[in-house]
Structure 1
């Protein structure tokens, strides 16, 4: 019996369609994204060897979320509902576009004047606590009370709690949060990826007369603050003060009227954290790991890996470490030509144990190798494979040879060698890769 050619062609087309469907369903969602589409990485988890966050169970974020707990949000109100008060229910929150935390529930933009209450005014605050009149006592009285009340109103808007088992991720180009102070407090198994986190702007800085000997302004908000958090992966995030640089703020009482605190602080016994392929830019105090010198409850915690990150235009704390066991490798440090306020990059403080390897430092002529590392009661720095303006450099030896009288010598006898980590690249190769691929919107480019 002779076969029908038309039936044969139809059967072939059906077979091909079935094969294509099977192929698409067998690969991850990111590989299904064609030209012009943004890959969906929302269920991707941390690789088994990718830094300290891969230890002790690893970090999967909201990968186990059911369909009812996968959200795409475009406004602050939608984001707050999706975060669900920091609940531990597995959830994936995809941020589409830029969300401004300083908005009301209808989406109206809020200014500092909208938060001010009880008669607070900058002019009134300055008049009340001018050191030439008030002296060195801690501010108290009507204007300080009004500042606190006003600050509480802003905090209610901008402080956003991220609970356990959560993935917070960008859903397309330009995704991010402006003015938000994200807090992962007492939570575990959290992923924050592919977002621009900018301008956690404090409308109501507090004057601290005895800070640093000359007094200083203290701001309340970190762009992202891990407090007692565990197993957290931060990847391809761009951190900055974009829109309101502190350098543009006025000087009051002889000090810069600072509106921002840290970009990323890891404190209060946080542990098992990996920060990868992220950018920290245009800021003073970028990253603090650990609280104070007397917070001995941090001992044995604060195990953090920093790899393939870029620190550009950062004055200090990239990072500064107390008590932590921190692996800093394959990072790119760039000090701009006009950065005359640069202080240091790696700060080694009380009982810390830092391994810094294969990092690249590019600086102008007025910044020397001895400026890159500072120690305050520091104990250990194992440094190897690092380069300075393209040349190999021994950070430990130069620190010990040229440190100031206020610093102590460091030893390379770190408490333990680094925890889990992937391949460590040559510093020059890592520098090129970080320049191309670090930061928000680039998670799918590696």
Structure 2
């Protein structure tokens, strides 16, 4: 017993020494210093809560940030990292571990989920050091400054992007940050806020982007069209040459932003992209909206914007400005609730709320600043309260007569058994996990499903996800069979994916209801 106690004390002492050495303060599970909840498209696809409900640690170096990520039990263990001080190349080293994949010279958020990074105390500055998000989800970044990140010259970091996202990133909320450069590409800088290679469900809110050649992009080329569902609101873009943002494919919503001194072009919608542009204030700028530098058209819906001393160039083969009298050429439906400030007061309310060090103040929707509401303590994604004998939704079971397929099936089982109305037949995956889908020949609206386990296997299904198989969007997640509800969605195919179980799952019926 004494030997085991000595080992535990030694391990704890070693962890504390390591934490002290890298600039990290350990604490137990606690409420985050962050307040407020995600807005815009980050609220969709299950929501964005970051590290809410997990442990909180304090970091003063980039190495400490990496150490905090690597010290988690798993790559998805919720974690809030409170950052204070200046993070730079000298104090940002690679840290290894089973729950992280970090690198030197960049804050690397790779192959992880459920993390919040928030500046506290005297503030957090990432100096010449970018933040890279790759193959990650449910990430929140708030109240930090990222400045002068270079792709050429010395030192270099993150390909010159202040914040860059790529490769299967989804559900990111960036809020009350200041992103700034000291010039354009010829001076060694690239984008301030870039998204590419299947990055979706992102919100940038109450932030300042300034003094850069490029504000940011959605899609790295005309063939990188898998990105989108991005919201930009209550941001200030100042002294930017272009890309506020450059939108290649996908959908974006820009509302209540203040754009001042856009020197060459602004919102550049192209390659089939759709931009909804509501109640923004454009000032002392050129070509603030349109399709530029390409003949591949993009589209926009405009309402309530103010154009103050804005100039427009002539139309040409690769130049299609929306002005001088911008008119909508598409419609964009917005799936989340939001409140618009009048465009006339946007410069004032944005000046009092946007950027790091503003106390996380937000607009009250009536052109006044107010403190944010409390952050959630648990993920806000749609979940079910399953029961072995579920309460049926009202209406017709749409699965009857539909098609079915899946990822695999055990011998003697069939995909079609989940939509035949017979509880004595069932589908099982060829293992403990797998997926089964119901599909229709035309678009069908669905808002709930019922998963019934076969007799003798009730309680075997553990964790699961419900997916819109047309888009890959997660409609709901949770555990156990039963009734599952989610926002009404029109689709051609819906998938029930079992990600954990206590044995061999047996799905007798996969019922769907409008």
Instruction: Report TM bin, short chain.
Output: 0.5 to 0.7
Pair 1:90-2:78 in alignment:
yes
Matches within 5 A, 1:24-39: none
Q: CA offsets per residue over residues 200-257 of structure 1, 9 Å max, x none?
A: 123559xxxxxxxxxxxx992311111121111110000012xxx236xxxxxxxx64
**Change in CA separation of 1:64 and 1:219 when aligned onto 2, cut-off 3 Å:** closer
2:328 & 2:92 partners in 1: Cα distance?
A: 52
Task: State the partner residue of 1:350.
Answer: 271
1:223 & 1:176 partners in 2: Cα distance?
A: 12
Tell me which of the two structures has the higher relative contact order, counting C-alpha pairs closer than 8 angstroms and 6 or more residues apart: 1
Of 44, 49, 56, the match for 1:60? 49
2:266 & 2:174 partners in 1: Cα distance?
A: 20
**Change in CA separation of 1:104 and 1:319 when aligned onto 2, cut-off 3 Å:** closer
**Change in CA separation of 1:312 and 1:104 when aligned onto 2, cut-off 3 Å:** closer
Of 57, 80, 83, the match for 1:71? 57
Matches within 5 A, 1:180-329: 180-204=129-153, 220-227=159-166, 228-241=168-181, 245-246=182-183, 257-296=186-225, 298=226, 301-329=227-255
Shift of 1:43: 4.8
Shift of 1:41: 5.6
**Change in CA separation of 1:202 and 1:413 when aligned onto 2, cut-off 3 Å:** closer
1:105 & 1:292 partners in 2: Cα distance?
A: 32
**Larger proportion of helix:** 1
**Change in CA separation of 1:409 and 1:279 when aligned onto 2, cut-off 3 Å:** closer
2:175 & 2:92 partners in 1: Cα distance?
A: 29
1:98 & 1:187 partners in 2: Cα distance?
A: 25
Pair 1:418-2:347 in alignment:
no
Shift of 1:403: 2.1
**Where does the alignment leave 5 or more consecutive residues of structure 1 unmatched?**
1-39, 107-154, 206-217, 248-255
**Where does the alignment leave 5 or more consecutive residues of structure 2 unmatched?**
1-30, 95-102, 362-369, 371-514
Shift of 1:57: 1.6
Shift of 1:386: 0.9
Of 291, 316, 319, the match for 1:407? 319
2:197 & 2:93 partners in 1: Cα distance?
A: 32
**Change in CA separation of 1:422 and 1:443 when aligned onto 2, cut-off 3 Å:** farther
1:180 & 1:219 partners in 2: Cα distance?
A: 7
2:279 & 2:234 partners in 1: Cα distance?
A: 10
TM-score in terms of structure 1 length: 0.64
Number of equivalent positions: 314
Q: CA offsets per residue over residues 238-286 of structure 1, 9 Å max, x none?
A: 0012xxx236xxxxxxxx6432211110111111111100000111111
Task: State the partner residue of 1:161.
Answer: 109
Say which SS state the counterpart of residue 105 (structure 2) adopts: helix
Paired residues of 1:280 and 1:312 also in contact (CA < 8 A): yes
**Larger proportion of strand:** 2
Paired residues of 1:219 and 1:258 also in contact (CA < 8 A): no
Paired residues of 1:219 and 1:260 also in contact (CA < 8 A): no
Pair 1:428-2:367 in alignment:
no
RMSD: 3.0
Shift of 1:159: 4.9
1:231 & 1:42 partners in 2: Cα distance?
A: 21
Shift of 1:100: 1.4
**Change in CA separation of 1:103 and 1:201 when aligned onto 2, cut-off 3 Å:** farther
Say which SS state the counterpart of residue 165 (structure 2) adopts: strand
2:349 & 2:289 partners in 1: Cα distance?
A: 22
TM-score in terms of structure 2 length: 0.56
